[in-house]
Amino acid sequence: MVEGSRLTHGLRKIIGTISGPAIFKVEEGAIQRYAQAIDDPNPVFNDIEYAQNSQHGRLICPPGFTGWPVKGEHPVINIISAITRADASLRLVDGGVEYEFLHHIGAGDILIAIAKVIDITERETKAGKSLFINVGTTFTNQNSAVVLNVISTFIGL
């Protein structure tokens, strides 16, 4: 470890850590509540009858919504816990997200989510030496199709 570096040995050991699987269930009411929360009236997210008659045949999720976990926590939560155990002084903030949408997610889907710490790097920022932690999460549906890949970035201040 370079002197003054925040990338401790304990944090380096977390790179490559895998968390999960967690099981997510996608339900109509949850999709509707999500759409209402962001004030999105799109009927494919809100109107069950409209959605059933659409090309999708069911309510589909607004981008980024993956239902609720019914077994296990979101795997990213376990990774964040591991990071804060390795360095309790770190204050983690949401640094952003990248989504790759492969198939629509919709009502009735059962998703399996697995997350992995891709890398942890250190950079000089306005706040001083900061850590950038990239976590990749893959969501696979009940047909074994990967439906969504997510890269979440957390900044450790």
Give the interface with other proteins as residue ranges (CB under 8 A).
Answer: 30, 33-34, 36-40, 42, 44, 54-55, 62-65, 68, 94-101, 153
Q: Is 28 exposed, middle or buried (0-12, 13-18, 19+ CB in 10 A)?
A: middle
CA–CA gap between residue 24 and residue 21 (Å, rounded):
10
Q: Which is nearer to other proteins, 11 or 51 (CB)?
A: 51
User: Least distance from C-beta 92 to other proteins, angstroms?
Assistant: 11
User: Least distance from C-beta 115 to other proteins, angstroms?
Assistant: 16
User: Helices in 8-88 by DSSP H: which ranges?
Assistant: 9-12, 28-37, 43-46, 48-52, 75-86
Q: Which is nearer to other proteins, 4 or 41 (CB)?
A: 41
User: Least distance from C-beta 95 to other proteins, angstroms?
Assistant: 7
Q: Which is nearer to other proteins, 8 or 47 (CB)?
A: 47
In terms of Cα–Cα distance, which of 133, 23, 132, 116 is closest to 74?
A: 23
Measured between alpha carbons, how far is residue 103 from residues 2, 26, 117 in Å?
A: 43, 14, 24
Q: Which is nearer to other proteins, 62 or 72 (CB)?
A: 62
User: Least distance from C-beta 52 to other proteins, angstroms?
Assistant: 14
